């Protein structure tokens, strides 16, 4: 009788282990980490966590380098052409063209630089920076200045743009998932 119980307990633990190990394996298909070398290098240059950048890319384009939004944002990190031109001027990129936003190297270089710029602009407030990345830095500055939103995670419901509110939440959730699935990055 005890032998049967030990056998079933061992079988249960084995199946549980396989399920958990397999779940992470399958979850990596849902949350891939493509362009890892580029993301890691550019994130490190800009003092960002690579997994945060991966989460932004996942939310923005699902790692589709050819992605284009209805508003004209392009590439992996969904950079607006005007933003791309402005960042290219800031970093001294002489050969910038809008088409280069479909090049993963250029898109991630510009996107990570811009994300770091926003984090600095909003005094290291990652939530405000992510909201600005999606909704525009002028709008977010106005929301913060007017008291419409306090820039906190707890106050996300006060972000007036549902799309921006959802974007910040999705990035936060994806970032949490990426940290779980890629803990050594």
Q: Which residue in this structure is represented by tokens 């990596």? A: 28
- As a whole number of angstroms, the distance between CA 159 and CA 113 comes to 24
Catalytic residue among 49, 60, 66, 157: 60
8 Å CB contact between 12 and 162: no
Both structure tokens of 11 = 């079988």
Reduced to 3 states (helix: H, G, I; strand: E, B; else coil), residue 22 is: helix
Could you say which DSSP state residue 123 is in?
A: T
The closest alpha carbon to 149, from 176, 128, 172, 119, belongs to 128
Whether residue 101 contacts residue 110, with contact meaning beta carbons closer than 8 Å, is answered with: yes
CA distances from 122 to 68, 157, 158, 171 (A): 27, 19, 17, 17
Chain centroid to Cα 78, Å, comes to: 11
Q: Is 98 a catalytic residue?
A: no
**64 with 94: CB under 8 angstroms?**
no
Enzyme catalytic residues:
60
């Amino acid at each position: 009788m005890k032998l049967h119980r030990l056998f079933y307990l061992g079988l249960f633990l084995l199946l549980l282990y396989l399920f958990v190990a397999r779940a992470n394996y399958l979850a990596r298909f849902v949350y891939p980490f493509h362009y890892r070398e580029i993301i890691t290098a550019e994130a490190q240059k800009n003092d960002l966590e690579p997994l945060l950048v991966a989460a932004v890319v996942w939310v923005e384009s699902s790692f589709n380098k050819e992605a284009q939004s209805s508003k004209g944002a392009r590439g992996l990190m969904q950079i607006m052409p005007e933003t791309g031109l402005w960042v290219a001027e800031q970093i001294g990129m002489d050969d910038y063209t809008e088409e280069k936003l479909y090049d993963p190297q250029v898109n991630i270089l510009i996107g990570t630089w811009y994300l770091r710029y926003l984090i600095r602009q909003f005094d290291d407030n990652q939530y405000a920076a992510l909201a600005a990345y999606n909704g525009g830095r002028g709008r977010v500055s106005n929301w913060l200045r007017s008291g419409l939103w306090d820039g906190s995670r707890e106050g996300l419901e006060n972000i007036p743009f549902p799309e921006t509110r959802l974007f910040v939440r999705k990035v936060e959730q994806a970032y949490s998932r990426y940290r779980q699935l890629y803990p050594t990055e």
